[in-house]
Chain A
Amino acid sequence: RKEVEQDPGPFNVPEGATVAFNCTYSNSASQSFFWYRQDCRKEPKLLMSVYSSGNEDGRFTAQLNRASQYISLLIRDSKLSDSATYLCVVNTGSARQLTFGSGTQLTVLP
């Protein structure tokens, strides 16, 4: 089993739709969780950290479920500009070792 697993997609959704991605992790001792966004042929950029109580940033909501060992990202009112690959990142092993998932590709259609 991979340390961090994501559904690769692709997810093709119309503008204005709500879409959710899940990411599972194998190390129950993991403490830090992030979502990064990567545009085509660009570098990854931090979208948001994921806190135990869940957190929201505009149209984006991140949640953590420790019991089932997964994190989720919800995007409401999708925009064309949301089209990208979303990478789940989890600390594995020591607190300073981050592991990236393979990414979920999202395309928002006009």
Chain B
Amino acid sequence: EAGVVQSPRYKIIEKKQPVAFWCNPISGHNTLYWYLQNLGQGPELLIRYENEEAVDDSQLPKDRFSAERLKGVDSTLKIQPAELGDSAVYLCASSLGAGGEQYFGPGTRLTVT
């Protein structure tokens, strides 16, 4: 069974540029999460979807970050414009139901210069 797929794996952009990350969860998993992880820290939740509905986006900086999961399957996270402090690993995870075991993708390592 395929795991959570994320792309790109690495991205280097200049500040003020836009960037987008894509995630395809495990088939049948209706809950999808986007996390941000800084070096030496645990993942921090940005947004959680149950099917196509964003049910927890309280930690998403809405002035520059946006996300969508239009058909309740794959999802895109966008940053526009990127700032130096956005450099981090962006992890996507999915689970069968909220609160259950989360399976993580390999992440996208973003560097903003």
Contacts and interface: CB of A to CB of B under 8 A. Distances in A.
A17 interface: no
Given A43-B105, A43-B107, A44-B104, A100 B44 contact: yes
Contacts, number: 46
B38 to A, nearest CB: 10
Interface stretch (A50-58, A59-67, A68-76, A91-99): A91-99
B92 to A, nearest CB: 9
A8 B105 CA distance: 24
Interface residues of A, number: 21
Question: Chain B, interface size: which category?
Answer: 20 to 34
Given A91-B99, A96-B98, A103 B41 contact: yes
Nearest to A103: B42
Contacts of B107: 43
B99 A44 contact: no
A43 B107 CA distance: 7
A94 to B, nearest CB: 8
Interface of A: 4, 8, 32, 34, 42-46, 49, 87, 91, 95-103
